[in-house]
Amino acid sequence: MSEIRQDITTNEWVIIATERAKRPHDFTKPLKPLPPEFEPKCPFCPGNEAQTPPEVLGYREGGTSNSPGWWIRVIPNRFAALQPSQVECEGEVKREVANGLFRKMDGIGRHEVLIETPKHNLYFPYFTDKQAEEVVIALRERYLALRNEPNVKVVIIFKNHGDQAGTSLLHPHCQIVATPIVPQSLRRRTAVATRYYDDNGGCLYCDLIQAEQKAGVRVVEDGAKFFVMHPYASRSPFETWVLPKFHSASFGNLDLDAAKDLGRVLKRITGKIFTMLGNPDYNIVIHTAPVKEEDEDYFHWHLRIIPRLTMMAGFEIGSGIFINTALPEQTAPALREVKFQ
Amino acid sequence: MSEIRQDITTNEWVIIATERAKRPHDFTKPLKPLPPEFEPKCPFCPGNEAQTPPEVLGYREGGTSNSPGWWIRVIPNRFAALQPSQVECEGEVKREVANGLFRKMDGIGRHEVLIETPKHNLYFPYFTDKQAEEVVIALRERYLALRNEPNVKVVIIFKNHGDQAGTSLLHPHCQIVATPIVPQSLRRRTAVATRYYDDNGGCLYCDLIQAEQKAGVRVVEDGAKFFVMHPYASRSPFETWVLPKFHSASFGNLDLDAAKDLGRVLKRITGKIFTMLGNPDYNIVIHTAPVKEEDEDYFHWHLRIIPRLTMMAGFEIGSGIFINTALPEQTAPALREVKFQ
């Protein structure tokens, strides 16, 4: 008999196939061979800076803008999903609702790429601590810049690693999209958390961390500033959540010490995932409050790492209910025990 | 400049990359070679009936249950996500909410597979009209049987075709899952439609069909009983909706004539998709009202065909906002004009 579990942060359901669940070590794979350190055709490799739009941020030892010498570089995405308005605009982006059934607005916003390292094949787990820290510091810097742009409602930070995660660009990079609308899924998460606050007088996620600490069985790492777990209603095997242990609605409120700590946590956790699952395709997404709600008491920003080990099929698309063939109570201890470094 | 469009049925946003949109014919591919007509190791091929659980329905010319002679066969899924209760149960499935943050219930329900044809390589477009009609009639028959099972709240019908759509089983089949809970995504769709009804005094989907007929630019087929279109806020290229032109909340209310018509529509539309996109991996999902709300005035059941031409990446996972690189105003006319048969 399988179990149907409810994600308390969204009210979404997940079917956990407990009976035919795979063991954590069924997912084990040897590490895929790495690409070369330099790839002449890669627009993100040093020396090819002219192939990208001019940089908006460079952490560099020497050289000038848009030349080698950087160790982290942020550029507008050449294939931007959203772009800055061409006209100076003080008001809100206008929505066209003339025909009520066909609502649209201009794709105003920002879409940036953060190149995490000059080395084509240096994935997150292999960074020095300092490099890992500075990637998070640079993300924070861009968050704080973009949140102040006109019309920006939410800044969404994510990473696609590998074909199955939606990218064929191997060079390590993250993306940052600033949108002029609040995604419905964030509205729902905020509504669920607000309702919980009204019912219980506290933050849902803070209480969830406490409950998971007490349960103990889904904890990957319980650090000084961050709590890492496999959620009770995991939608896919090895889905990993990283939550700040202090209440905070927005990634933008992260102080520099915590940002550095997060960099080291990410290096360690992705390192364990690489070691166990063999450099799998994966996504990272940061869930954070809308920019005008950064200080509220209800939502609690967090980061999710989602190894893409399974495909989304018709049942998931049709119902939103995921079927997970791994038990978080088994995958979390397995990942916790992986030796990395 | 891209466009941000809102799906009026969910309030979800989609970014349509109008500027760098691909043309419909950029997606054109030659037909992949077909597998053999009979595959000795396939559990769905005739002669291998003993490899599956005993059938719950067989349309057959001869033979006895669980032997060859059938042209459509329905069996419980050997790897069922949900299963019938072992004990006779008159009440509701009990939810365990002892610890409010960890809610679960038993995975009670049904999970069936409908084998569409004895032939391993006979895909939907190559069916006779009669075979296509009878697949829909058999789906309807199983819907009507499962809706009456205890604890069943929703009957979800879907199809996975190909690796990228979540199946490696090539033999043509659909799946039917009866759940003891109402998916949140269906709750939201129903809520949006109910709100629209209260505001406007009519069904959102009926009005949408009229608006799309008037606009004309996203229509693939406007038949006697069904309307086929590429929605204004398409989440992926060639996403195709098939809606009954008469108001009906539930697939279960389909009469036999309409069921037959739907079979022929599906044959024709999947045929056009195969011809243009070269037997792509795809999903079909049927969105239908909960079984106790089959006669309501707000929701309007429909079917979606989703060719899996793109990957879901971190932005989509993190925000629920899809980026679509094709324009429904271009793909719909392209598909409409494809010659099939």
pLDDT single digits (tens) B275-312: 999 999 999 999 999 999 999 999 999 999 999 999 99
Q: Could you list the beta-strand ranges (E) of chain B.
A: 3-6, 13-16, 57-60, 70-76, 95-96, 103-106, 110-115, 154-161, 173-179, 219-222, 226-229, 240-244, 282-287, 302-307, 322-324
- The CATH number that applies at residue B51 is 3.30.428.10
Secondary structure (3-state) at A177: strand
Interface contact B158-A313, CB threshold 8 A: yes
* Mean pLDDT score of chain B: 94
Residue A22 DSSP label: B
Average pLDDT over residues A200-224: 97
Token representation of residue A295: 């200080």
Helix H segments across chain A? Answer: 129-146, 184-200, 204-215, 256-277, 314-319, 328-336
B89 assigned to some structural domain: no
Residue B98 pLDDT: 54
Closest alpha carbon within chain A to B17? A81
Q: Given a cut of 90, is residue A92 above it in pLDDT?
A: no
B197 touches chain A (CB under 8 A): no
Contacts of residue A211, defined as CB under 8 A and 6 or more positions apart, other chains included, come to B99, B101, B102
Cβ distance B5 to A284 less than 8 Å, yes or no, reads no
Integer Cα distance of B335 and B219 in angstroms: 9
**Measured between CB atoms, does A306 come within 8 Å of chain B?**
yes
The contacts of residue A86 (CB under 8 Å, 6+ apart) are none
B43: contact with A, CB 8 A cutoff: no
- Does B263 score more than 60 pLDDT? yes
State how far the Cα of B153 lies from the Cα of B196, in Å rounded to an integer: 24
The two three-digit tokens of residue A257, written as one number? 């010490």
Distance CA B140, CA B138 (A): 5
pLDDT at B147 over 90: yes
Q: Please name the amino acid found at residue B178.
A: A
Q: Is A154 helix (H, G, I), strand (E, B) or coil?
A: strand
Cβ of B184 and A13 within 8 Å?
yes
Find residues 174-193 of chain B whose CB sits inside 8 Å of chain A.
175, 177, 179-181, 183-186
B52 in contact with chain A, both atoms CB, cutoff 8 A: no
Tokens 């709100």 -> residue: B195
pLDDT of residue A310: 92
Residue B341 falls inside a structural domain: no
Cβ of A285 under 8 Å from any chain B Cβ?
yes
Q: Cα distance from B160 to chain A (closest Cα, Å)?
A: 6
Number of domains in chain B: 1
Residue B256's pLDDT band, with cuts at 50, 70 and 90, is very high
Bridge partner residues of A245 (DSSP):
none
Q: How far apart are the first and last CA of chain B?
A: 39
Instruction: Average the pLDDT over each of A166-170, A175-179, A321-325 and give the range with the smallest value.
Output: A166-170
CB distance B314–A177 less than 8 Å? no
Residue A317 lies in a domain: yes
At residue A1 the predicted structure's pLDDT band, cuts being 50, 70 and 90, is confident
Alpha-carbon torsion (B142, B144, B148, B150), positive or negative: positive
pLDDT at position B87 is 66
Is the residue at A341 inside a domain?
Answer: no
Nearest to A161 by CA among A20, A284, A278, A66: A284
ipTM of the complex: 0.94
- The answer to whether B5 contacts chain A (CB < 8 Å) is yes
Is B147 among the domain residues?
Answer: yes
Cβ-defined contact of A315 to B156 (cutoff 8 Å): yes
> What angle do helix axes B184-200 and B204-215 make, rounded to 10 degrees?
80
Measured between CB atoms, does A169 come within 8 Å of chain B?
Answer: no
In which band, very low, low, confident or very high, does the pLDDT at B97 lie, cut at 50, 70 and 90? low
Provide the 10 A C-beta neighbour count for residue A90.
Answer: 6
User: Once rounded to an integer, what is the mean pLDDT over residues A21-46?
Assistant: 93
Q: Which residue has the higher pLDDT, A237 or B97?
A: A237
Minimal Cα–Cα distance from A61 to chain B, Å? 31
What 8-state DSSP symbol labels residue A8? T
Which structural domain range is residue B72 located in?
A: 3-82+103-336
Q: How far is A64 from chain B (nearest CA, A)?
A: 30
Backbone CA torsion sign across A202, A206, A207, A208? positive
Q: Do A17 and A325 meet the contact criterion of CB atoms below 8 Å apart?
A: yes
Residue A181, CA atoms < 13 Å, CB-side half-sphere: 24
Confirm whether B173 is a catalytic residue: yes
* Average pLDDT score over residue span A37-63: 96
Assess if residue B97 is contained within a domain: no
Flag whether pLDDT at B132 surpasses 60.
yes
Cα Rg, chain B, nearest whole Å = 20
Q: Would you state the pLDDT for residue B66?
A: 95
**Chain A residues inside the 8 Å CB shell of B16:** 107
Contact between residue A54 and residue A35 where contact means Cβ atoms under 8 Å apart: no
Are A230 and A328 within 8 A, CB to CB?
yes
* A9 within domain boundaries: yes
CB contact under 8 A, A154 and B319: yes
pLDDT, residue A138, reads: 98
pLDDT for residue A296 is more than 80: yes
DSSP sequence for B57-100: EEEESSS-TTSS-EEEEEEE-TT-SSB--SS---SPPPEE-SST
pLDDT beyond 70 at A30: yes
Host H or E run for residue A283:
strand A282-287
In which residue are the tokens 């030349």 written?
A67
Residue B30 has pLDDT above 70, yes or no: yes
Q: Nearest CA to B78 among B46, B113, B117?
A: B113
- The confidence band for B1, taking pLDDT boundaries of 50, 70 and 90, is confident
Q: Supply the pLDDT for residue A65.
A: 94
Chain segment B231-242, per-residue pLDDT in tens: 999 999 999 999
Q: Which two tokens stand for residue A113?
A: 């790429």
B173, B230, B300, B302: the catalytic one is B173
- Show the CA angle centred on residue B271, arms to residues B267 and B275, nearest 5°: 180
Task: Give the tokens for residue A200.
Answer: 């219980």
Cβ–Cβ below 8 Å for B321 and A163:
no
The verdict on A164 touching B (C-beta cutoff 8 Å) is: yes
Chain A segment 72-101 residues within 8 A of B by beta carbon are 79-83, 99-101
pLDDT at B252: 97
Tell me what the mean pLDDT of segment A192-196 comes to: 97
Residue A314, token pair as written in the block: 């018709």
Residue A311 has a CB neighbour count (10 Å cut-off) of 20
Residue A93 within a domain: no
Mean pLDDT to the nearest integer, A167-180: 95
pLDDT at B88 over 60: no
Average pLDDT over residues A269-288: 97
Choice among A85-89, B227-231, B312-316 with the minimum mean pLDDT = A85-89
Interface test with A, best of B302, B317, B323, B327 (most A CBs within 10 A): B317
Please, what is the average pLDDT of chain A?
94
Residue A86: band (very low, low, confident or very high) from pLDDT cuts 50, 70, 90: confident
Q: Which of A20, A183, A314 sits opposite B165 (nearest CB)?
A: A314
B63 pLDDT more than 90: no
Residue B92 predicted with pLDDT over 80: no
**In the predicted structure, residue B94 carries a pLDDT above the cut 90:** no
Indicate the pLDDT class of residue A168, thresholds 50, 70 and 90. confident
Q: Is B85 a residue whose pLDDT tops 80? A: yes
Residues A104-124: tens digit of each pLDDT = 999 999 999 999 999 999 999
What pLDDT, in 10s, does the model give residues A52-68?
Answer: 999 999 999 988 999 99
Confidence of residue B6 (pLDDT cuts 50, 70, 90): very high
Nearest CA-CA distance, residue A66 and chain B, Å: 25
Provide the β-strand partners of residue B70.
B60
Q: Specify the pLDDT at position B117.
A: 98
CA-CA-CA-CA torsion sign (B187, B189, B191, B194): negative
Arithmetic mean of pLDDT, B144-170: 95
| B319 to chain A: closest CA residue | A183
